[in-house]
């Protein structure tokens, strides 16, 4: 009798859990704006041809007419206060522009660098409009989370933004997001009272100048994002394979070995240190660290440390087989995506357009340290950091590496920093790890 | 002989003092950093250069879009207090039933619940998420309260052990006087179990107060006003924010400990009180 009771309980528990798994709501994403065909813009970006139809003013009028009740929208953007405040201003403007409609727009704080994870955790519960870093585009598209930008209401993002940004927002000939900024890259930040232009032209000079003054320079060797620049600068590749998931990498060829040897040589000096962002800011404040490779997000902290002596420049050269070679880098963009599962796709797309148009980008550029991707906005905003990024952009690649890149590349950076007798073995290990098949 | 004992004692205490010191260093660092004028991490020195209370005032009085501590504190408090009341009641009632009442399958049910309680709750995380989503309880404090208190009855074991030590004769004499199970529970067993109740209450407050995993899973909102303390403080540690907010984070870490300390100080005196001593006469 007692056994039966337990059995019944267990069965009931199992039945409940199975039922919970089985019931998923299947929902087809709505297709957004009216397919207006007044204007068609074609633009060659890289190897893909992206086309967007621009809708007429009628499209907006139709959208307003088709809207009943309050429009609920959620917008996720950077957690930084300057961003949050700027976005709030823009959203208020958006509400004023379309004052016929009742909006309830919530702004959430979500770092662009981890946006993909949060969105893919539960796409249906994710924001209608979200800002993400361009390297997440592939996975977001594969998961069907992004509404393709096939038509627009107010302006043509393909023509308004730089070709690099458009390329980063597109996959296989379809544009999936609205470019917002073009400053996710890194460059050299230094104290110009202590280092001359010549000092920062090459790693060899920089190290010698730091040694002479008893100061330090460096970057985060443990982060493959930075290590990449040395190898790409010398002509080695590490990028996504055709399947879009795995990596191809040739860092263990002869050039790669020469790069690694050069890095080991640079790091053999005590003046070169490998430290992360937070430590670097502290050391810069104490006056020990006078040159560091970092991005726009930490400019304010270095400004506090160096004051008026803050200067930014493209990355230095380094010697490969005795030839001065320009260090490369990753260049990244922030993109605004529209959730394909949004209940108000039309309004979400219009909002995404609104916060990425020229005026909005100008505002964001002025209030944050970021550089706009809009061609006109970029031309009118300048800062030392953005000029350095501009100069570096000629040597920068789009960040397209799979998940297996980061750990081996970081380990390689650490190994080269601490020094090794057998760089070839270290490179072989790294390449094996980077190109290992993703699970 | 006496000298040897003193020397041994000195060494023992010295050793303990050093161990205690090492153990306290991180907390001390958190404490002193919370008074630093420097907003970011300073790894080059232990004590701050200049001291200030600004971090606390920023944390408590001037919430911004990044650090909305008052809202986080309120959310965590609501969750903590309500879950604490519900789960304490569950634990005490389940323990009473298993300890004092006799019914068919009591032993079986007990072993079944112990086995069930051995599975870590995180295993069912995803199922919990989707079930709560069906009921529209994600993104709400109510959902978190349900998660924290629903299964708490399974933690009855220690409490039941304590109830077992209360002499059955006490309950029997109450029954003879005509008391119902509920009267026995509230009038006899509960008043005799203060130390156990203190333990249960502190435990059932701490778990939801400090939990991060479930809160992060269920609170999908990115509006800082909807977060709990754990999510909010974690968010501050992002690389874009840490340079401006680290000392505020430390201040938050200190403030979080305040309710726990108060709860403990209030409850502490019950720990030393006797239990059933002298309750059964003759």
Select the residue of A6, A23, A282 nearest B42 (Cβ to Cβ).
Answer: A282
- CATH code for the domain of B238: 1.10.3720.10
Does A187-329+388-435 match A39-176+334-372 at the fold level?
A: yes
Q: Does B69 reside within a domain?
A: yes
Nearest CA in chain B to A13: B116
Residue predicted with more confidence, A44 or A133? A133
Residue predicted with more confidence, B246 or A7? B246
State the nearest Cα–Cα gap between B243 and chain A, in angstroms: 6
Q: What is the mean pLDDT of residues A171-191?
A: 92
Q: Does B22 reside within a domain?
A: no
pLDDT at A19 over 50: no
A247: left (phi over 0), alpha (psi -120 to 50) or beta: beta
A226-238 pLDDT per residue, tens: 999 999 999 999 9
User: Residue A36: what pLDDT?
Assistant: 40
Mean of per-residue pLDDT scores for chain A: 85
Using the Cβ of A278 and the Cβ atoms of chain B, whether some distance falls under 8 Å is answered with: yes
Domain extent, residue B200, equals: 59-272
State the nearest Cα–Cα gap between B100 and chain A, in angstroms: 20
Tokens of B159: 């409490």
Number of cross-chain residue pairs from A and B with Cβ atoms under 8 Å apart:
97
With helix as H, strand as E and coil as C, how does chain A read?
CHHHHHHHHHHHHHHHHHHHHHCCCCCCCCCCCCCCCCEEEEEEECCEEEEEEECCHHHHHHHHHCCCCCEEEEEEECCCHHHHHHHHHHHHHHHHHCCCCCEEEEEEECCHHHHHHHHHHCHHHCCCEEEEEHHHHHHHHHCCCECCCCEECCCCHHHHECHHHHHHCEECCEECCEEEECCCCCEEEEECCCCCCCHHHEHHHHHHHHHHHCCEEEECCCCHHHHHHHHHHCCCCEEECCCCCCEEECCCCHHHHHHHHHHHHHHCCCCEEECCHHHHHHHHHCCCEEEEEECHHHHHHHHHHHHHHEEEECCCEEEECCEEEECCEEECCEEEEEECCCCCHHHHHHHHHHHHCHHHHHHHHHHCCCCECEHHHHHHCCCHHHHHHHHHHCCEEECCCCHHHHHHHHHHHHHHHHCCCCHHHHHHHHHHHHHCCCC
Nearest CA in chain A to B139: A125
Select the residue of B43, B127, B129 nearest A17 (Cβ to Cβ).
Answer: B127
User: Residue A7: what pLDDT?
Assistant: 52
Residue predicted with more confidence, A4 or B28? B28
Select the residue of A109, A125, A281 nearest B220 (Cβ to Cβ).
Answer: A125
Using the Cβ of B221 and the Cβ atoms of chain A, whether some distance falls under 8 Å is answered with: yes
Rounded Cα gap, residues A256 and A260, in angstroms:
6
Q: What is the mean pLDDT of residues A115-124?
A: 90
> Within 13 A of B45's CA, how many CA atoms are on the CB side?
13
Select the residue of A81, A125, A278 nearest B40 (Cβ to Cβ).
Answer: A278
B138-181 pLDDT per residue, tens: 888 999 999 999 888 888 888 888 888 888 898 899 999 998 98
CB proximity list for A19: less than 8 A, separation 6 or greater: none
Tokens of A302: 């270095």
- Identify all chain A residues contacting B243, using CB atoms and an 8 Å cutoff: 277-278, 281, 298, 300-301
Domain boundaries of chain A, sorted by first residue: 39-176+334-372, 187-329+388-435
Using the Cβ of A108 and the Cβ atoms of chain B, whether some distance falls under 8 Å is answered with: yes
Tell me how many domains chain B contains.
1
User: Residue A80: what pLDDT?
Assistant: 86
Using the Cβ of A296 and the Cβ atoms of chain B, whether some distance falls under 8 Å is answered with: no
pLDDT at A189 over 90: yes
User: Residue B195: what pLDDT?
Assistant: 81
CB contact under 8 A, A122 and B65: no
CB contact under 8 A, A79 and B220: no
CB contact under 8 A, B65 and A109: yes
User: Residue B271: what pLDDT?
Assistant: 58
ipTM score assigned to the predicted complex: 0.74
A312: left (phi over 0), alpha (psi -120 to 50) or beta: beta
pLDDT at A388 over 70: yes
pLDDT bracket for residue A330 (50, 70, 90)? very high
CATH 3.30.1280.10 for the A187-329+388-435 domain, yes or no: no
B97-114 pLDDT per residue, tens: 999 888 998 999 999 988
Tokens of B282: 């003759």
- Identify all chain A residues contacting B127, using CB atoms and an 8 Å cutoff: 17, 20-21
CB proximity list for B241: less than 8 A, separation 6 or greater: A79, A80, B66, B235
Domain A39-176+334-372 adopts which CATH fold?
Answer: D-Maltodextrin-Binding Protein; domain 2 (3.40.190)
Using the Cβ of B225 and the Cβ atoms of chain A, whether some distance falls under 8 Å is answered with: no
CB contact under 8 A, A79 and B238: yes
CB contact under 8 A, A81 and B64: yes
- Identify all chain B residues contacting A5, using CB atoms and an 8 Å cutoff: 105, 108
Using the Cβ of B222 and the Cβ atoms of chain A, whether some distance falls under 8 Å is answered with: yes
CB A77 within 8 A of CB A128: no
A261-286 pLDDT per residue, tens: 999 999 999 999 998 887 888 888 88
pLDDT at A14 over 60: no
Tokens of A108: 């959430």
State the nearest Cα–Cα gap between B69 and chain A, in angstroms: 15
B56-84 pLDDT per residue, tens: 998 899 888 888 899 999 999 999 999 99
Q: What is the mean pLDDT of residues A320-340?
A: 92
CB A132 within 8 A of CB A338: no
Tokens of A83: 């961003």
Q: What is the mean pLDDT of residues A34-60?
A: 56
Q: What is the mean pLDDT of residues A43-65?
A: 68
Nearest CA in chain A to B106: A2
Using the Cβ of A301 and the Cβ atoms of chain B, whether some distance falls under 8 Å is answered with: yes
Tokens of A254: 């002869």
pLDDT at A39 over 90: no
E-strand stretches of chain B: none
CB A191 within 8 A of CB A206: no
């Amino acid at each position: 009798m007692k056994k039966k009771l337990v059995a019944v309980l267990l069965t009931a528990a199992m039945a409940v859990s199975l039922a919970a798994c089985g019931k998923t709501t299947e929902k087809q994403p709505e297709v957004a704006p009216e397919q207006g065909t007044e204007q068609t813009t074609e633009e060659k970006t890289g190897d893909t041809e992206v086309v967007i139809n621009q809708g007429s003013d009628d499209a907006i009028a139709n959208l307003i007419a088709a809207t009943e009740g309050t429009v609920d929208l959620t917008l996720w953007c950077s957690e930084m206060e300057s961003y949050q405040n700027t976005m709030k201003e823009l959203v208020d403007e958006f509400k004023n522009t379309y004052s016929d409609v009742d909006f309830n727009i919530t702004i959430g704080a979500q770092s662009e660098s981890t946006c993909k994870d949060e969105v893919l955790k539960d796409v249906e519960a994710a924001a209608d409009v979200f800002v993400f870093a361009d390297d997440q585009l592939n996975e977001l598209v594969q998961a069907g989370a992004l509404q393709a930008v096939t038509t627009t209401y107010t302006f043509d993002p393909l023509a308004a933004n730089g070709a690099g940004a458009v390329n980063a927002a597109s996959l296989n000939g379809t544009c999936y997001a609205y470019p917002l900024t073009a400053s996710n890259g890194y460059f050299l930040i230094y104290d110009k009272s202590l280092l001359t232009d010549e000092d920062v032209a090459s790693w060899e000079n920089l190290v010698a100048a730091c040694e002479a003054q008893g100061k330090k320079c460096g970057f985060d060797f443990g982060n493959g994002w930075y290590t990449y620049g040395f190898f790409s600068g010398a002509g080695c590749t590490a990028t996504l394979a055709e399947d879009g998931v795995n990596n191809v990498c040739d860092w263990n060829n002869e050039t790669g070995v020469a790069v690694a040897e050069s890095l080991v040589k640079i790091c053999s000096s005590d003046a070169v240190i490998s430290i992360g962002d937070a430590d670097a800011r502290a050391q810069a404040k104490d006056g020990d660290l006078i040159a560091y490779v970092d991005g726009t997000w930490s400019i304010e902290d270095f400004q506090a440390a160096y004051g008026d002596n803050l200067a930014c420049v493209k990355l230095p050269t380094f010697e490969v087989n005795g030839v001065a070679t320009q260090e490369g880098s990753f260049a990244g963009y922030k993109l605004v995506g529209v959730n394909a599962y949004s209940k108000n796709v039309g309004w979400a797309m219009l909002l995404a357009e609104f916060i990425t148009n020229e005026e909005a980008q100008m505002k964001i550029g002025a209030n944050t340290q970021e550089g706009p991707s809009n061609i006109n906005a970029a031309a009118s905003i300048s800062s030392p950091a953005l000029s350095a990024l501009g100069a570096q952009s000629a040597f920068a690649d789009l960040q397209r590496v799979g998940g297996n890149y980061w750990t081996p590349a970081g380990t390689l950076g650490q190994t080269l920093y601490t020094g090794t007798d057998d760089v070839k073995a270290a490179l072989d290990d790294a390449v094996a790890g980077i190109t290992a098949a993703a699970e | 002989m006496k000298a040897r004992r003193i020397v041994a004692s000195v060494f023992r205490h010295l050793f303990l003092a050093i161990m205690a010191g090492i153990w306290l260093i991180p907390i001390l660092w958190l404490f002193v950093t919370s008074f630093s004028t420097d907003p970011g991490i300073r790894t080059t020195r232990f004590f701050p250069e200049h001291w200030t209370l600004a971090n606390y005032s920023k944390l408590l009085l001037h919430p911004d879009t990044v650090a909305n501590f008052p809202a986080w504190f309120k959310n965590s408090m609501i969750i903590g207090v309500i879950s604490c009341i519900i789960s304490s009641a569950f634990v005490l009632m389940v323990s009473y039933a298993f300890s004092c009442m006799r019914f068919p399958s009591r032993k079986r049910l007990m072993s079944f619940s112990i086995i069930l309680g051995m599975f870590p709750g995180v295993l069912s995380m995803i199922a919990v998420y989707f079930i709560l989503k069906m009921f529209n309880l994600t993104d709400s404090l109510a959902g978190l309260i349900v998660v924290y208190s629903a299964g708490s009855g399974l933690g009855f074991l220690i409490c039941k052990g304590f109830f077992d030590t209360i002499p059955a004769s006490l309950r029997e004499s109450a029954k003879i006087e005509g008391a119902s199970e509920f009267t026995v529970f509230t009038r006899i067993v509960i008043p005799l179990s203060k130390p156990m109740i203190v333990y249960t209450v502190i435990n059932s407050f701490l778990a939801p107060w400090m939990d991060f995993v479930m809160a992060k899973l269920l609170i999908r909102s990115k509006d800082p006003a909807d977060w709990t303390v754990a999510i909010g403080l974690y968010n501050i540690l992002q690389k874009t924010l840490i340079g401006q907010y680290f000392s505020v984070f430390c201040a938050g870490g200190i403030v979080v400990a305040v309710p726990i300390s108060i709860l403990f100080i209030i409850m502490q005196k019950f720990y030393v009180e006797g239990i059933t001593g002298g309750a059964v006469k003759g």
